[in-house]
Structure 1
Amino acid sequence: MKLIVDSCSDISLDFAKSHNLYFIPLNVNVDGKVYLDRYEITSEDVSKAVDDGIRPLTSQANPEEIYQHFTKALEEDKTIIYLGFSSQLSGTIQSANIARDMILEERDDVDITVIDSLSASYGYGLLVERAAKYVKDGLSKDEVLQKIEHDKSHIRHLFTVSDLDYLAKGGRLSKGQAFLGSLLNIHPLLHVEDGKLVPIEKYRGTKRVLKRMVEMMKEEGAKTEVHITHSDNLKDAEALKNLILKETDLTDIKISSIGPTIISHTGNGTIALFYFTEGV
């Protein structure tokens, strides 16, 4: 059984390689030149472009591209599971379903399952980490799929951005919702609900919104993996980690950069917190 993921999971190429995952990169266009996410462009490259006033654009993998990826993965194993970026934020899942149907029309010796993670960034990444463990542990396909569905219902995304208009211009948030970004020193707290980005609260100042993130995590009983991501904002990421260490008994807290595709839609200064509401 081969697990396939895409670059919007924000997992590293090293993790994908060490866990025998097949990694599909999305496309990032910076100033007219198209790069493969992670393979040809880094988070630092995209953050610098944003600082320089360049707005990176992204595009999903089209059905033909995913068809090629699936075909290559099938050379290693006749059973593949593609766990993809939220269908509410990208058309990649739709492309994957088309590619799957194309292959199944041609072949009857393969088993292809497409799963909508309804997640983004390292919320999606935490689902990938667990799914990779299930496959490594030798669970059957049905067992892996059942556990993924369970995990999807317990993953939480909390994040704040410096400029909500950046999300709106990229089509990931409505202009009406983006009004929060125009208020002086207002930091919106957002989450992902049914795969969509949804503003839930707003705070004046970074410290207050970070504190509220930790309060919500405690209220929901986070007990296991915790991951923080940021776009060119390591200072606040470390502040959030220290606050979690101070306010909870959690110790397994990792920090990483948001990936190139996601930064292209959030801009710089974003802080995101991901966790499960219950243990394995």
Structure 2
Amino acid sequence: MKLLVDSCSDISLDFAKEHQLFFIPLTINVDGKEYLDKYEISSEEVSKAVDDGIRPLTSQANPDELYNYFNEALKEDSTIIYLSFSSQLSGTYQSANIARDMILEERDDVDITVIDSLSASYGYGLLVERAAKYVNDGLSKEEVIKNIERDKAHIRHLFTVSDLDYLAKGGRLSKGQAFLGSLLNIRPLLHVEDGKLVPIEKYRGVKRVLKRMVELMKEEGAATEVHITHADNLKDAEALKNLILKETDLTNVQISSIGPTIISHTGNGTIALFYFTEGV
């Protein structure tokens, strides 16, 4: 069984290689030139483009591209599972279903499952980490799918951005929801609900919003792995990690950069916190 994931999971290429994952990059256009996410462009390069006033554009994987990726993976195993970026934030999931159906019309000797993660960035990444373990532990396809669906119900995304208008202009948030971005020194707290980005609270200053993230984590009983990502904002990411270590008994708190595709839609300054709620 082969597990396929895409670059919006924000996992590293080293992790994908180590766990024998099939990694599908999305495409990023920066100033008229196209790059494959992570393979040809880094988070740092996208952040610099944003600082220079260039707005990177992204392209979902289309059905023909996914058809080719699936066929490449099927050379390694006749059973594949593709855990995709949230269908509410990209059309990649729909493209994957079309590609799967194209292959199944041609072949009856393969088994292809497409799962909507309803997640983004390292919320999606945490699901990938667990799914990779299930596959490498030798669980059956049915057990892997069951566990992924269970984990999906408990994954939590909390994040704050410097400019909500950046999300709105990229089509990831409505202009009405982006009204918070115009308020002086207001940092919004957002989460992912049913795969969609939703503002839930607002605070004056970044310290207060980071504190609230930790409060929510404690209220929800986070007791396992925790991951923080940032877009050119390591200082606040480390501040959040230190706050978690101080206020909770959690010790497995990792920090990484938000991936190139996600930065293209959040802009710089973003801080995101991902964990599993009580129960998994």
TM over 0.5: yes
Matched, 1:9 2:9: yes
Residue 181 of structure 1 corresponds to 181
Any idea what SS the aligned residue of 2:80 has?
A: strand
CA contact (8 A) 2:154 2:279 kept: no
CA contact (8 A) 2:83 2:116 kept: yes
CA contact (8 A) 1:223 1:279 kept: no
Structure 1 segments unaligned to the other structure (5+ residues): none
Residue 222 of structure 1 corresponds to 222
How many residue pairs get aligned? The number is 280
CA contact (8 A) 2:74 2:80 kept: yes
Aligned counterparts of 1:242 and 1:72: Cα–Cα separation in 2: 43
Question: Structure 2 matches for 1:1-280, cutoff 5 A?
Answer: 1-278=1-278, 280=280
Any idea what SS the aligned residue of 1:197 has?
A: strand
CA contact (8 A) 2:231 2:270 kept: yes
Partner amino acid, structure 2, of 1:15? F
Any idea what SS the aligned residue of 2:255 has?
A: strand
Any idea what SS the aligned residue of 2:265 has?
A: helix
Aligned counterparts of 2:268 and 2:235: Cα–Cα separation in 1: 13
Aligned counterparts of 2:159 and 2:185: Cα–Cα separation in 1: 16
Identity %: 88
Once superposed, what is the RMSD of the aligned Cα atoms?
A: 0.5
CA contact (8 A) 1:224 1:279 kept: no
Aligned counterparts of 1:206 and 1:277: Cα–Cα separation in 2: 23
Q: CA deviation at 1:235?
A: 0.0
1:60-118 deviation line (CA, Å, top 9, x unaligned): 01000000000000000000000000000000000000000000000000000000000
CA contact (8 A) 1:8 1:261 kept: yes
Partner amino acid, structure 1, of 2:8? C
Aligned counterparts of 1:185 and 1:278: Cα–Cα separation in 2: 33
Aligned counterparts of 2:274 and 2:204: Cα–Cα separation in 1: 22
Aligned counterparts of 2:185 and 2:239: Cα–Cα separation in 1: 18
1:196-215 deviation line (CA, Å, top 9, x unaligned): 00000000000000000000
Any idea what SS the aligned residue of 1:184 has?
A: coil
Q: CA deviation at 1:278?
A: 2.7
Aligned counterparts of 2:52 and 2:62: Cα–Cα separation in 1: 29
1:222-257 deviation line (CA, Å, top 9, x unaligned): 000000000000000000000000000000000000
1:153-185 deviation line (CA, Å, top 9, x unaligned): 000000000000000000000000001000010
CA contact (8 A) 2:155 2:276 kept: yes
Q: CA deviation at 1:51?
A: 0.2
CA contact (8 A) 1:230 1:256 kept: yes
Structure 2 segments unaligned to the other structure (5+ residues): none
Aligned counterparts of 2:250 and 2:197: Cα–Cα separation in 1: 26
Any idea what SS the aligned residue of 2:232 has?
A: coil
Partner amino acid, structure 2, of 1:35? Y
* TM-score with structure 2 setting the length: 1.00
Q: CA deviation at 1:279?
A: 5.6
